[in-house]
Amino acid sequence: MKTPQVTQRLMVTSLAALLLLAACRREEVTHARVAKGADAPSEMMPPAMGGAMPGSGGAPGMGNGEVAPPPPPDPANTLKWTLPPGWTEKLEGGMRYATLKPGTPGKVEVSVVMLPGPAGGELANVNRWRGQLGLATVDEAGLAAIRKAIPTSAGALGLYDLISDGTVKTRMTAALLAATNGNTWFLKMTGDAEPVAANQADFTRLLESLHFDASGAP
Amino acid sequence: MQKSENKSKLTKFLDAALSLKVTIVALAMLMVLVVACTLAQVDMGTNGAVNAYMRSFVVWWKPTGQNFSIPIFPGGTTVGFVLGVNLIASQLRGLARTWAKLGLWLVHIGLVLLVTAEFVSAALQVDARLAIEEGQTVSFVERPQEFELAILDTSDPKLDDVYGVPESLLKGGGTIAIPGTPLSLRVHAYFKNTELGRKAEGDPPTMATMGVGTGVTVKEAPPVTSDDEHNRPATFVEPLAAGKSYGTWLVSAAMGAPQAFVHEGHTYQLSMRPRREYLPYALTLKKFSHDVYPGTDIPKNFSSLVHLVDKPAGEERDVLIFMNQPLRYAGRTFYQASFGKGDTLSVLQVVENPGWLLPYISCALVTLGLLIHFAMGLRRAQRKRQRQAAAAQNA
């Protein structure tokens, strides 16, 4: 009976081919090197999902499973500062209000972010920063021990100097300003430990110069 | 004796399985599946319905309000497999290998190829989308139905290293090594669809110990498949490096901005997003046009004028993509699919299917086979008539 044998072989071969095709779907971690800025956020998601989320700002503002972008700073209460010599600044359009860059070489930059309200509070935000550097969280007493208060005319400002563990150290000198109008401003100098240390004095002077421009003039 | 009886039973079974009746029943079942799948697209969306009806072994039905499902019909994979085997085997067994049967051979081969093409598509076709705004340059496509946990190493001043952990790996849980980095991810939980909310007093404790997730509640939601709905997957992952834990983070597609941590001078950003595939070339949208008939809002034409740059291949040109006129390039086909943002955003459907030519070849073979078969029949009838006429004359 040659025909059934041929048919049986055919069936087995077809089934094996089907299983092989199914087995081809094993997936792995992918890797790509892309130019800065080429990895744009997804346009495929609904606006609420693609919008700004204070993921690095510390205050979830969400409801009904979606995330509302924070409102822009009130133009009548724009934070101002005196830029140290050699520094450059760029006003951003999204959640990040501005980016400042010292004139010294090395990896270092300052981000300026504004969030409405207390934005989770000082303890939660400092612990979030510590978590980013792989440092253990602190309690209220620990917070007070590492906090350095800087007087400004814009409001109470707490400064925290954090350094990561490891052989390549990252340093984050971060200031949290509880503004007089109720909003919270974050000014964070981050980068390699050496260039951050080299710009500490300038950054402190910049923080001391913080004030609000009630006219809203640029 | 027993062996002979078994053989006889097997032969009878094969006779029945390879009969023309099975072919007809399988074709009828495919028609039923096509109609049911088309109707189901209203609720399930194109992809969901195709997966449930056509790319499944069994079609399941879940009674309203019940937790169990009942198999109600063979799925497209089963029916297609039976039909394919039936066609091949019956052809091998029943169809005479003579020139007179050439037409029927071609028709059979064409039909088998058509069934095979669907299996090839189901196994190898990749559907993706490319959303691009006017003036924007994009060199990646995204699969809107699939997600990945993206890890971006942003430390290099010029280039970012992007690692994508597909959701199939996240579903499996455990610890996932990220090749090329000292990192590994311990997956504590993965949810296909979620609703996020602000954590309130009395809410159960969250798994997150770091990042935004410490103040967020995660509620699992039923996955959606329709075209106008999106899943919002979320995962709790714990990055590990050099024996150190960086805490457990909630990473969700409902979070727009990524969260980051630093290890040995490298900043790693975590985000959940539609699965992304990078292209070795780039497309810039120069202009999107949404034409309407004069005096009405009735769409007449949608088109995208894109500039294609493929530096490794030395290719650079403008391409106009419009309805039924896709761009075919480097194994992918870019169709005009949708638009948005006040006609400044164009959405292209991107299909990568190594077997895209098979249905065309199949149709050509069936057409050619039928033509040959009927031509031969016509020729035979003509000759018969000529013989009859000659016989009548001779008489």
**Is residue A119 one of the residues assigned to a domain?**
yes
**Is residue B338 one of the residues assigned to a domain?**
yes
Sequence-distant (6+) residues with CB within 8 A of B67 are none
Domain of residue B217: give its range: 144-277
Number of domains making up chain B: 3
**Is residue B304 one of the residues assigned to a domain?**
yes
Task: Identify the CA nearest to B352 among candidates B124, B109, B67.
Answer: B124
* A63 in contact with chain B, both atoms CB, cutoff 8 A: yes
**Is residue A64 one of the residues assigned to a domain?**
no
Determine if residue A83 is left, alpha or beta; phi over 0 gives left, psi from -120 to 50 gives alpha, anything else beta: beta
**B248 near B209, Cβ under 8 Å?**
yes
Which of B277, B300, B334 is a domain's end point?
A: B277
**Is residue A25 one of the residues assigned to a domain?**
no
What percent of chain A has pLDDT above 70?
67
* A75 in contact with chain B, both atoms CB, cutoff 8 A: no
Angle at B131 between CA B128 and CA B134, to 5 degrees: 155
Give the CATH number for residue A91: 3.40.1000.10
Minimum distance, in Å, between the CA of residue A102 and any CA atom of chain B? 16
Task: Identify the CA nearest to A214 among candidates A175, A176, A181.
Answer: A181
Q: Which of B18, B216, B256 sits opposite A7 (nearest CB)?
A: B18
**Does B15 share its domain with B108?**
yes
pTM: 0.72
pLDDT score recorded for residue A132: 86
**Is residue B395 one of the residues assigned to a domain?**
no
**Is residue A21 one of the residues assigned to a domain?**
no
* A84 in contact with chain B, both atoms CB, cutoff 8 A: no
Q: Which residue has the tokens 């969250």?
A: B206
pLDDT score recorded for residue A214: 62
Which of B256, B277, B298 is a domain's end point?
A: B277
Count of pairs with CB atoms under 8 A, one residue in A, one in B: 222
**A187 near A108, Cβ under 8 Å?**
no
**Is residue B342 one of the residues assigned to a domain?**
yes
Minimum distance, in Å, between the CA of residue B67 and any CA atom of chain A? 25
Categorize the per-residue pLDDT at A19 as very low, low, confident or very high, splitting at 50, 70 and 90.
low
pLDDT score recorded for residue A50: 35
For residues B331 and B275, what is the distance between their CA atoms, to the nearest angstrom? Answer: 19
Categorize the per-residue pLDDT at A217 as very low, low, confident or very high, splitting at 50, 70 and 90.
very low
Tell me which DSSP letter residue A169 carries. -
**Does B175 share its domain with B246?**
yes
Q: Do B92 and A42 touch (CB under 8 A)?
A: no
**Does B272 share its domain with B380?**
no
Number of domains making up chain A: 1
**Does B264 share its domain with B210?**
yes
**Is residue B234 one of the residues assigned to a domain?**
yes
Q: Which residue has the tokens 């050619």?
A: B368
Which of B277, B307, B322 is a domain's end point?
A: B277
Tell me the chain B residues in contact with residue A196 when contact means C-beta distances shorter than 8 Å: none
Token readout for B275 is 């699965």
Task: Identify the CA nearest to A171 among candidates A127, A123, A108, A112.
Answer: A108
Minimum distance, in Å, between the CA of residue A62 and any CA atom of chain B? 6
**Is residue A130 one of the residues assigned to a domain?**
yes
Domain of residue A83: give its range: 70-213
**Is residue A63 one of the residues assigned to a domain?**
no
pLDDT score recorded for residue A67: 40
**Does B116 share its domain with B29?**
yes
Instruction: Find the residue in A nearest to B278 (Cα).
Output: A32
pLDDT score recorded for residue A171: 94
Is the pLDDT confidence value at A10 over 80?
no
pLDDT in tens, chain B (395 residues): 555 666 677 777 777 777 888 889 999 999 999 999 999 988 888 878 888 998 889 999 888 878 788 999 999 989 988 888 887 887 777 777 788 889 988 998 898 898 888 888 878 888 899 999 999 999 999 998 889 999 999 888 889 999 999 999 999 899 999 999 999 999 999 999 999 888 888 888 899 988 888 888 999 998 887 777 788 999 999 999 988 899 999 999 888 678 889 999 899 999 999 999 999 999 999 999 998 888 888 888 899 999 999 999 999 999 999 988 999 999 999 999 988 888 899 999 999 988 888 999 999 999 999 999 999 999 999 999 999 999 988 87
**Does B120 share its domain with B59?**
yes
**Does B150 share its domain with B265?**
yes
pLDDT score recorded for residue B379: 92
Cα B53 to Cα A117, B32, B144: the distances in Å are: 51, 10, 20
**Does B199 share its domain with B234?**
yes
**Does B98 share its domain with B151?**
no
* A18 in contact with chain B, both atoms CB, cutoff 8 A: yes
**Does B115 share its domain with B205?**
no
**Does B115 share its domain with B233?**
no
**Does B114 share its domain with B16?**
yes
**Is residue A31 one of the residues assigned to a domain?**
no
Q: Which residue has the tokens 């985000």?
A: B271
Q: Which of A15, A32, A62 sits opposite B196 (nearest CB)?
A: A62
